[in-house]
Amino acid sequence: MSVLILTLLIGLGSFAAGVLGALTGLGGGLVIVPLLTLVFGVDIRYAIGASLVSVIATSSGAAAAFVREGYTNIRIGMVLEIATTVGALVGAFVAALVAPSAIAIVFGLVLLYSAYRSTRPRVEHVTTGPPDRWAARLRLNGTYPTPEGRQAYSVQGVPTGFSLMFVAGILSGLLGIGSGVVKVLAMDQAMHLPFKVSTTTSNFMIGVTAAASAGIYLSRGYIDPGLAMPVMLGVLAGAMLGARILAGAHTSVLRRIFNVVVVVMAIEMLYKGITGSL
Amino acid sequence: MSGPDPQSRWTDEHVEMLVGNLLRYGVLAAAAIALVGGVLYLARYGGTHADYHLFRGQPAELKSVGGVIGSARTGDGRGIIQLGLLALIATPIARVAFSLLAFARQRDRTYVIITAIVLALLLYGLTGYER
């Protein structure tokens, strides 16, 4: 296949991943590596490098809109970024030491878990009681806009959230994904943040976390410009379109379809990882 | 604490708005650079056979910040794409640097330290691996 045709096909596939990722809230980065490795036969190291770049693009693109709406809690984001960036650097170093088939197995498990989580209802645990000791010391409590004016929230479980963020960072550096599913888990369930705050703060952190490991991938030669270019532009354009049609779209059917795709990809990643045929 | 302080342009809300624009224009600039590089790259190599199946890594000039800038200056499509990707990686780093400045203006010592740690980790990721 010629470079031109392959570039266009990869760009189209990435565009579709970007649209679906934005519409379902799972993020396009999750399926870029399986798409590149399973469909286009790309080496998993190149695939992870290209995926990381696309994750930064969508996160920063979406964050611009979120930040202006005033939901993102920069203090929480910054504290937790210590955990995610250390994790991302660790993950990027580990990625060079382990076999591609081991990465494929971890990837398959994360895909399965993400699909499972997205079928569960998200439970909001907003608290207004006294905050966690660390939350008070670091002044993490905040307010967010609601139709009835600014609503205050009180932050819980900072040590647990911080630890989960370290895991999210490792997965991001190892697999080239945003790990949004683990980040939101940490902020919803451990720290009891309101959805809007946890989703937007998580999105803000995803770009910073991916940037930490992207530098290492670049200096190892894992970021191929000919491959990363169509992936980055495709996912970015797709995510922008997805965000635009999100208002008013019925996403439950779409989410179910996307989940089936994710599960099929997970099984194939696991199979190829276990048989070592990747 | 409540109500905007007209004396300061460094309130959290104002900083967040500036940051939003920084991110948006950073991403658009990076995408534009990568697109220009991509067109040049495809014009030159579009007809050749593609092979991403075997991992060979990248040549030295596409692996470091200095090398990428040098390669882009020669007008090489791959170098220009890589420059766009570097600009993209730099966007969240610039955002953290900007937050550091904002916390310093607010004389918030705890957050200056926290943000400086994050920035140091990011810069290490980008450059610390080069020898």
| Mean pLDDT confidence for A50-76 | 81
Mean of the per-residue pLDDT values of chain A: 88
How far is Cα of residue A198 from the mean position of the Cα atoms in its chain? 13
A152 vs A13 pLDDT, higher one:
A13
- Contact (CB, 8 A) for A154 and A127: yes
C-alpha span between B59 and B89 (Å, rounded): 20
Residue A270 tokens read as 């696991």
C-alpha span between A78 and A254 (Å, rounded): 33
C-alpha span between B28 and A60 (Å, rounded): 10
Mutate to test the interface with A, among B65, B83, B88 (most CBs of A within 10 A): B88
Of chain B, the percentage scoring pLDDT greater than 90 comes to 47
Poorest-confidence range of A21-25, A232-236, A271-275, B102-106? A21-25
User: Pick from B50, B55, B62: which is nearest to A6 by CB?
Assistant: B50
Q: Residue A272 pLDDT > 70, yes or no?
A: yes
- The 8-class DSSP code of residue B50 comes to P
Instruction: Note whether A105 contacts B: Cβ–Cβ < 8 A.
Output: no
Q: How far is A133 from chain B (nearest CA, A)?
A: 15
Contacts of B62 in chain A (CB under 8 A): 221, 223, 225
- The 8-class DSSP code of residue B51 comes to -
Q: How far is B4 from chain A (nearest CA, A)?
A: 14
| Mean pLDDT confidence for A20-47 | 86
A27 vs A3 pLDDT, higher one:
A3
Give the global pTM. Answer: 0.89
Q: How far is A50 from chain B (nearest CA, A)?
A: 10
| Mean pLDDT confidence for A83-112 | 94
A265 vs A20 pLDDT, higher one:
A265
User: Pick from A4, A213, A233: which is nearest to B42 by CB?
Assistant: A4
User: Pick from A41, A221, A230: which is nearest to B53 by CB?
Assistant: A41
C-alpha span between A200 and B112 (Å, rounded): 22
Sign of CA pseudo-dihedral A73, A79, A83, A85: positive
Sign of CA pseudo-dihedral A245, A247, A250, A252: positive
Q: Residue A223 pLDDT > 90, yes or no?
A: yes
Beta strands in B28-120 (DSSP E): none
* SS3 label, residue A99: coil
Q: Residue A172 pLDDT > 90, yes or no?
A: yes
C-alpha span between A45 and A103 (Å, rounded): 10
B2 vs A263 pLDDT, higher one:
A263
Q: How far is B52 from chain A (nearest CA, A)?
A: 5
C-alpha span between A66 and A18 (Å, rounded): 18
* SS3 label, residue A228: helix
Contacts of B21 in chain A (CB under 8 A): 64
Contacts of A233 in chain B (CB under 8 A): 31, 34-35, 38
Mean of the per-residue pLDDT values of chain B: 85
C-alpha span between A228 and A233 (Å, rounded): 8
Instruction: Note whether A113 contacts B: Cβ–Cβ < 8 A.
Output: no
C-alpha span between A57 and A79 (Å, rounded): 22
C-alpha span between B28 and B6 (Å, rounded): 32
C-alpha span between A218 and A6 (Å, rounded): 22
C-alpha span between A117 and A80 (Å, rounded): 22
How far is Cα of residue A26 from the mean position of the Cα atoms in its chain? 7
Of chain A, the percentage scoring pLDDT greater than 70 comes to 95
Poorest-confidence range of A31-40, A54-63, B71-80, B84-93? A54-63
pLDDT value at residue B101: 92
pLDDT value at residue B36: 96
Mutate to test the interface with B, among A78, A137, A143 (most CBs of B within 10 A): A78
Which residues on neighbouring strands pair with residue B49, listed in sequence order?
A2
**Beta carbons of B49 and A138 less than 8 Å apart:** no
User: Pick from B13, B19, B48: which is nearest to A2 by CB?
Assistant: B48
Mutate to test the interface with B, among A69, A209, A232 (most CBs of B within 10 A): A232
Poorest-confidence range of A87-96, A188-197, B8-17? B8-17
Instruction: Note whether A70 contacts B: Cβ–Cβ < 8 A.
Output: yes
Q: How far is A68 from chain B (nearest CA, A)?
A: 5
Q: Residue B1 pLDDT > 50, yes or no?
A: no
Instruction: Note whether A65 contacts B: Cβ–Cβ < 8 A.
Output: yes
* Those residues with Cβ within 8 angstroms of residue A190's Cβ, 6 or more apart along the chain or in another chain: A156, A157, A160, A161, A164
**Beta carbons of B55 and A219 less than 8 Å apart:** no
- For A218, how many CA atoms within 13 A lie in the half-sphere containing its CB? 35
User: Pick from B48, B89, B99: which is nearest to A78 by CB?
Assistant: B99
User: Pick from A74, A88, A221: which is nearest to B63 by CB?
Assistant: A221
